[in-house]
Amino acid sequence: RRDARREAIAEQRAERAAEAAARAAERDSIVYERVPVSEWQTVLRDPQVRFASQATLDFPGRVLTITRAELAATGVRSLSQGEVKGLLKTNEVSVQGQISTTLADLEQVLARQTRVPLELDGQQEFSFQVRGPLASPQVQVTGGWERAAAAGLVAGPARFTAGYNDHVLELQPATFALSGGEMHVGGRVDLTQSSPTVEIPAGPVCTNVALTQQICNGWMQYIAPMVSQAARAEGIFSLSLDETL
């Protein structure tokens, strides 16, 4: 009996050693890119960001259960829950939640990133889901706005669904009012190559959009700033693709 017990203990130790070696090998396989602090770019400043969470860890079963995770900042609040299975091994994620935001509070952040003056209105809720291995998860986000304006173009209420799967970002087809006409969006971005490729499906892009003086001034300042205030244009325009671009 003593010999059998010793053998069982030895087997358990060997299993723990093998698991520790596997975890160490997994950590060593992760490549981190070091970016000097001098190259960092601030995209958001907030005087107070609060994060709180409740979770339980089943270490023998390698399951992390997130009962509640809350992130709050100016104009933004996120609530999520889910679990991570195969912790430190496969890291299978299943997380879902909602993001409540006052879009007006995000105007400056988005305008700074796009370099285009933006106006966003509405109190919106975005829902999201993250599933699959943590290294390459499937992500789906649904959201929109009540009103948006950029460079003279004014958009009405819109709702979008976007997904990310296997290094491909896809925007589901959607239509919303735009300056008296309609805008039709949709397409995909392939990120599998070093240079991302964008695919826009054939069909109408915009229909019966009013060309106003505000639009002319707004866009001409990027094309020909010297004549942006002197240019004049009026009318209605539509754009359609005969084949996938």
For 20-66, write each residue's pLDDT tens digit.
Answer: 787 777 666 655 566 676 777 776 677 788 999 999 999 888 899 99
Q: Rounded mean pLDDT of the chain?
A: 83
224 and 156 together in one domain: yes
Domain housing 85? 49-144
- Mean pLDDT, residues 188-212: 88
Signed CA dihedral, 216, 222, 224, 225: sign only: positive
Contact 71, 51 (CB under 8 A): yes
Residue ending a domain, choose from 144, 173, 199:
144
Structure tokens at 221: 């300042």
Looking at the predicted structure, is the pLDDT value of residue 218 above 80?
no
Q: Is residue 21 part of a domain?
A: no
For residue 100, give the nearest of 128, 119, 81 by alpha carbon.
128
Q: Which of 97, 178, 111 is nearest to 143 (CA)?
A: 97
How far is the first Cα of the chain from the last one, in angstroms, to the nearest whole number? 74
pLDDT at residue number 68: 95
115, 191: one domain: no
| For residue 109, pLDDT beyond 80 | no
